[in-house]
């Protein structure tokens, strides 16, 4: 760290996620007092280990704050018609406030057909084109969970993006595009000047060095190096990559898209991997589910 510089603050996603879950638990208790129990249904097709682990994590998180969760497991050879029937049934159930179909789906199933089928009022993943479109237009909607989590981390650490230059490295539909769009909005915790970078960006290093807030979501282990970061930048690392490490029991370790050790001395704030953005994704899914249940409770009062 350069002389006179202040040591970077590590953005603790685990701590923030725990705080939000505590707040959600109180909202769930209030809902139950009015006769409404939030309900989340996850549809898991096939036996992908990562998907199974993720769905287990969601169910466990729901249980801790009092959300009813249901996991519907089906084999990888399920027909598209069968899956359509399952999702349609969940759309019709009054006790289910949120529906998520765990991706990826087997190749013989069209993901967009299934995504479009989910009732936008229960689209707690924020993937439905209706949700994405409403977000782009600046209207209230369910926000995609990882980008939502990033914005919430900035909020909780009093990092206001207004008027600042944000560079997003990555253009996926799940993280890169939506987080940039959210920070661009004319709204609280937004009003940033946003630049998107990707594999075809020329002078990538120079563009990244302009960033007051640098969001790395490119899916390449430790891709962002210290010479791509300006002094005092806020660094948000979305990546989760396995790299071989013979010194560990598992034979690998998890790293982000940012060279943490190299970039830490130049940053003002930085997220670690693991323990940064990761814990926020499920937390914001729970937030969306509780919000959906609160909408159901409000309708029942009328």
| Tens-place pLDDT, residues 28-62 | 999 999 999 999 999 999 998 888 888 999 999 99
Active site residues: 58, 102, 125
Q: Distance (Å, rounded) from C-alpha 294 to C-alpha 39? A: 11
Per-residue pLDDT band for 160 (boundaries 50, 70, 90) equals very high
Per-residue pLDDT band for 246 (boundaries 50, 70, 90) equals confident
Q: What is the mean pLDDT of residues 230-258?
A: 93
Q: Distance (Å, rounded) from C-alpha 154 to C-alpha 175? A: 15
- State residue 48's pLDDT score: 87
- State residue 118's pLDDT score: 98
- State residue 50's pLDDT score: 84
Structure tokens at 107: 């190749």
- State residue 139's pLDDT score: 96
Question: pLDDT over 70 for what percent of the chain?
Answer: 98
Sort strands 252-255 and 241-244 into parallel, antiparallel or unpaired. Answer: antiparallel
Helix-, strand-, coil-residue percentages of the chain, each rounded to 5: 45, 20, 40
Domains in the chain and their CATH numbers? 38-119 (3.40.50.10860), 144-277 (3.40.50.720)
Q: What is the mean pLDDT of residues 238-261?
A: 92
Q: Which residue has the higher pLDDT, 235 or 4?
A: 235
Total residue length of the chain: 302
- State residue 5's pLDDT score: 58
Q: What is the mean pLDDT of residues 193-202?
A: 95
> CA nearest 45: which of 18, 80, 11?
80
Dump pLDDT digits (tens) for 205-242: 999 999 999 999 999 999 999 999 999 999 999 999 98
Backbone angles phi, psi at 268, to 5 degrees: -95, -40
- State residue 1's pLDDT score: 45
Q: What is the DSSP string of 25-88?
A: HHHHHHHHHTT---EEEEEEES--HHHHHHHHHHHHHHHHHT-EEEEEEE-TT--HHHHHHHHH
| pLDDT at position 143 over 60 | yes
Mean pLDDT rounded to a whole number for the chain: 95
- State residue 6's pLDDT score: 72
Q: Which residue has the higher pLDDT, 23 or 3?
A: 23
Q: What is the mean pLDDT of residues 151-180?
A: 97
Close Cβ partners of 26 (under 8 Å, ≥ 6 residues apart): none
- Report the helix count and the strand count for the chain, using DSSP H and E: 10, 11
| pLDDT at position 4 over 60 | no
The residue with tokens 């969970």 is 145
- State residue 2's pLDDT score: 47
Dump pLDDT digits (tens) for 208-217: 999 999 999 9
């Amino acid at each position: 760290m350069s002389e006179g510089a202040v040591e970077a603050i590590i953005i603790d996603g685990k701590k923030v996620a725990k705080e939000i879950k505590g707040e959600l638990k109180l909202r769930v208790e209030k809902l139950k007092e009015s006769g409404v129990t939030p309900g989340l249904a996850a549809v898991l097709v096939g036996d992908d280990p990562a998907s199974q682990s993720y769905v287990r994590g969601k169910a466990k998180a729901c249980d801790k704050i009092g959300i009813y969760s249901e996991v519907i497991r089906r084999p990888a050879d399920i027909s598209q018609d069968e899956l359509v029937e399952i999702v349609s049934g969940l759309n019709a159930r009054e006790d289910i406030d949120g529906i998520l179909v765990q991706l990826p789906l087997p190749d013989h199933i069209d993901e967009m057909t299934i995504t479009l089928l989910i009732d936008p009022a229960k689209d707690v993943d924020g993937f439905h084109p209706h949700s994405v479109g409403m977000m782009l237009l600046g209207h209230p909607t369910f926000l995609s969970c990882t980008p939502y989590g990033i914005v919430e981390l900035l909020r909780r650490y009093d990092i206001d993006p207004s008027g600042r230059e944000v560079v997003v490295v990555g253009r996926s539909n799940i993280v890169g595009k939506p987080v940039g769009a959210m920070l661009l909005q004319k709204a609280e915790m937004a009003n940033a000047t946003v630049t998107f970078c990707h594999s075809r960006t020329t002078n990538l290093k120079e563009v990244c060095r302009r960033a007051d807030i640098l969001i790395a979501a490119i899916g390449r282990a430790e891709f962002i190096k210290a010479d791509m970061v300006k002094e005092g930048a806020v660094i948000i690392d979305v990546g989760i990559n396995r790299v071989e490490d013979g010194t560990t029991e598992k034979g690998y370790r998890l790293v982000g898209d940012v060279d943490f050790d190299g970039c830490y001395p130049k940053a003002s704030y930085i997220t670690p991997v693991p323990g940064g953005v990761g814990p926020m994704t499920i937390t914001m899914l729970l937030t969306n589910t509780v919000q959906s249940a609160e909408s159901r409770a409000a309708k029942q009062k009328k």
